Structure 1
Amino acid sequence: MELTRLKMRLYFGEAMMGPGKAELLERIAAEGSISAAGRAMGMSYKRAWNLVEEMNSAFRAPLVHSTRGGSRGGGAGLTETGEAALRAYRAFEEKCRVSGAAEIAALGALIAPDKS
């Protein structure tokens, strides 16, 4: 049986922050590379870069910094704003999970059992 999952997307006009972008930020922080983060998520390098560019332009300050490759290789990481945005998103997600636990359980109780 699959566990209940909560996926939150927050829209601020044209800008959006959701579970995919949050995971991409986490993986960039862990991998030190946008391309490695994208690969780990099964997305193309171009898609990962497009999402980073989208986030960087949507926020007041960039969320991700990167350096070009070369003899020493390139890399990427989160800026202070990126770390703050990721923390705020994950904290909001957790608050919704905790404060909405009764409603989530009530909805779950109404779901038909798996017939497989």
Structure 2
Amino acid sequence: MASLSLRIDLDPGGRIGPGKIELLEKIAAFGSISAAGRAMDMSYRRAWELVEEINTIFGKPVVECQAGGRRGGGARLTALGLALVTRFRAVERAAALAAADHLAALQVEVERPAPPEAAPEPPAA
């Protein structure tokens, strides 16, 4: 079935898409940047770079980190991080709903067999 993938381009030059949102969702679920990265087959370094990129885009933290210790460290989404995930998923749902009929029509075209090729016409004499 045809589906829609969404990326939001923010001024100046920031981009938020399904990968960054999934990372934030996994940080919220696991309470850890490293665990979120592992769940996405991503290094801790790459996960941390993406979090820092999002922080830079918004000019404030989307993830709060707690230093390790006896209980270990951790991470959680800030109010902005939670709002970002919620708003992105809402835009994604609205876009998918608005595009549903068009996506279905495109899928029908993909599944429709191609018409048989006509025999070539002989060259003119």
TM-score (norm 1): 0.89
| Equivalent residue runs for 1:49-60 within 5 Å | 49-60=48-59
- 4+ residue stretches of structure 1 with deviation over 4 A? none
**Unaligned stretches of 5+ in structure 2?**
113-125
Q: Which has the larger radius of gyration?
A: 2
SS, match of residue 71 in structure 1: coil
Distance of 2:24 and 2:13 partners within structure 1 = 19
SS, match of residue 111 in structure 1: helix
TM-score (norm 2): 0.83
Instruction: Please give the per-residue CA displacement for 1:37-57, whole angstroms capped at 9, x wherever unaligned.
Output: 000011011000000000011
Instruction: Please give the per-residue CA displacement for 1:46-72, whole angstroms capped at 9, x wherever unaligned.
Output: 000000000011114211111121222
Match of 2:66 in 1: 67
Q: 2:91 matched to 1:92? A: yes
Instruction: Please give the per-residue CA displacement for 1:2-61, whole angstroms capped at 9, x wherever unaligned.
Output: x43321111113111000001001000000000000000110110000000000111142
1:9 to 7, 10, 28: 7
Q: CA offset at residue 112 of structure 1?
A: 4.5
**Unaligned stretches of 5+ in structure 1?**
none
Match of 1:80 in 2: 79
Aligned residues: percent identity?
50
Q: CA offset at residue 111 of structure 1?
A: 1.4
